[in-house]
Structure 1
């Protein structure tokens, strides 16, 4: 079968021909219909040998693609609740199911698959879905029945990662609470939607792109602000000096982290999803008192179930730009240049 592999660090991906995989006990063979592309793919491709976090944690030589959806082609022994021809999406994070984290519902921190600051996932250390076929355990699959897998592919990382971050504080949100989403890209757009769907909080959307802010407004943001040196002052003025209760940073560089700390409110929460390597001073006089600071990592299979249910109910807008399998490099180039409309999805 055809596949697209990361074979060397700091080199473009390569098209290869490899044997079609065979499902074992408890596994399914999936004919891939769609695979989303992610900025973390670029981070991996651009990694220099022995550089953190990717090249110090995993080895090259794997198929890229961690946003995967397709059709069941064949069932391994022991599977009776799925059928050939049924649509499924793949939860890309591996988990053992028996370690302390898995047992307590935090399988994205599974001890067995932890590698330094990252976790082995499909498309990152383990073969992913930029291929004609993929084998995955039944425990990593969510059925979507006869629905179009192409529409669900971006939800398996961009959607579900944003959902997990929002879920970490949404139970504390009150009707008069304020929230801020920093970075309205592939994940931030879902962040705005989940806050809107799950709460009555006021949403501030912040980005350096007017186009992204237009999208945020369409998705339900109450206030949109261009990111510049005056953004924190403007937000404090708009909130009568109170600041923001709950902040999600989908960028994670020095500037966005500093902004989040400046606009934080006592007893609030700053959740960082973006992995742009920024740092910020925390503690007294650097952020609001009793405000929590957290790094949100990945998602759970239950999160994916929830997000797919919202999509099936027609509650999510799923923006994507479709590419064929032979256009993977073109799609990555557009992603790198910031010229995509929604998520890049390779349609097989």
Structure 2
């Protein structure tokens, strides 16, 4: 069958012919309908041999695609609760079910699939969904019913559910009268704004480098949109202006919850600057080299900093009620789609 592989680190992906997988007793063979493309795919394709976090942790030569949706094509002998032709999505994070995080309900931290700072899985160290067929264990497959075209569901399986998980780690803090800042209004950030709006009464501040994305943020629920330019000679000044604007909007109080979907040093510094005492900063983005220096005077007192990793299957079951903007590409247009993703278009 035809597939799109990351064959070697630091090289463009390639179309290749591989063997169609066969399901084991507890597996589901899925005829792929759609695979969402993700910024982390570009980070993998751009990784040089031995570089962090991907190339130092997993071997190359795997099929890309970790946001996967399709139809059941074949069932393993022990799978009796799905039917051929049923529309399904696949949770993006494999899990063993036996380690302590798994038995504690935190399968996104499964020790069996952890490699350094990342978790391996389909489309990241293992064969993903940019192929005609995909194999997955029944425990990681969720039905979306019959007579359903699952193409629009693909982005829910990572982008949306990762944003949902990050919001859930802090949503208990977002009572009436509180505020949340969403930094980076790309795919995940747009979902993040929507989840905060759905799950809380917080005032929402959207931060991005693009006026067009900030317009989208307002459309999906942001109360205020703050422009922040990253990189170049004016980076420090623009970061200062963005921080000043947010502090003015909060009357100097600062923000209760900041979720950073970029993760660059400058966005993390902005997050630290606008956080209030006893606030919470959640980093989701994995911008190369992004880091935050913490200590007295660098972070508000009692402010918590957390790195949010992926999601759980239960998170995926709960995701819904979202505006999902999808641009469709044919299987033979994958390089073009990646290039548009790289350009932010």
Q: Same fold (TM over 0.5)?
A: yes
Distance 1:21 1:231 in 2: 50
Q: Is the 8 A contact 2:173 2:256 kept in 1?
A: no
Q: Residue 108 of structure 1: CA displacement?
A: 1.1
Match of 1:271 in 2: 282
Which ranges of structure 1 fall in alignment gaps of 5 or more residues? 340-348
Match of 2:197 in 1: 196
Distance 1:191 1:318 in 2: 12
Q: Residue 335 of structure 1: CA displacement?
A: 0.8
Alignment of 1:237-316 (within 5 A): 237-276=248-287, 277-307=289-319, 310=320, 315-316=321-322
1:304-326 superposed Cα distances (whole Å, 9 cap, x missing partner): 1111xx2xxxx210012110000
Match of 1:80 in 2: 80
- Give 3-state SS (helix, strand or coil) of 2:34's partner: strand
Distance 1:157 1:292 in 2: 25
Pick aligned residue for 2:330 from 321, 324, 329: 324
Distance 2:67 2:267 in 1: 26
Match of 1:67 in 2: 67
Q: Residue 172 of structure 1: CA displacement?
A: 2.3
Q: Residue 128 of structure 1: CA displacement?
A: 0.1
Q: Residue 55 of structure 1: CA displacement?
A: 0.7
Q: Is the 8 A contact 2:32 2:71 kept in 1?
A: yes
Distance 2:278 2:337 in 1: 42
Match of 1:223 in 2: 224
Q: Residue 292 of structure 1: CA displacement?
A: 0.3
Distance 1:172 1:206 in 2: 20
Match of 2:232 in 1: none
- Give 3-state SS (helix, strand or coil) of 1:180's partner: strand
1:69-98 superposed Cα distances (whole Å, 9 cap, x missing partner): 000011101111111111110012111001
1:255-313 superposed Cα distances (whole Å, 9 cap, x missing partner): 10000000001111000000003112212111111110001111111111111xx2xxx
Q: Residue 196 of structure 1: CA displacement?
A: 0.5
Q: Residue 106 of structure 1: CA displacement?
A: 1.0
Alignment of 1:21-32 (within 5 A): 21-32=21-32
Which ranges of structure 2 fall in alignment gaps of 5 or more residues? 229-237
Instruction: Give the aligned length.
Output: 333
Alignment of 1:172-183 (within 5 A): 172-183=173-184
Q: Residue 20 of structure 1: CA displacement?
A: 1.1
Does 2:113 correspond to 1:101?
no
TM-score by length of 1: 0.94
- Give 3-state SS (helix, strand or coil) of 1:34's partner: strand
Distance 1:35 1:195 in 2: 26
Alignment of 1:24-43 (within 5 A): 24-43=24-43
Higher relative contact order (CA 8 A, sep 6+): 1
Distance 1:261 1:198 in 2: 24
Match of 1:210 in 2: 211
TM-score by length of 2: 0.95
Match of 1:130 in 2: 130
Distance 2:322 2:119 in 1: 28
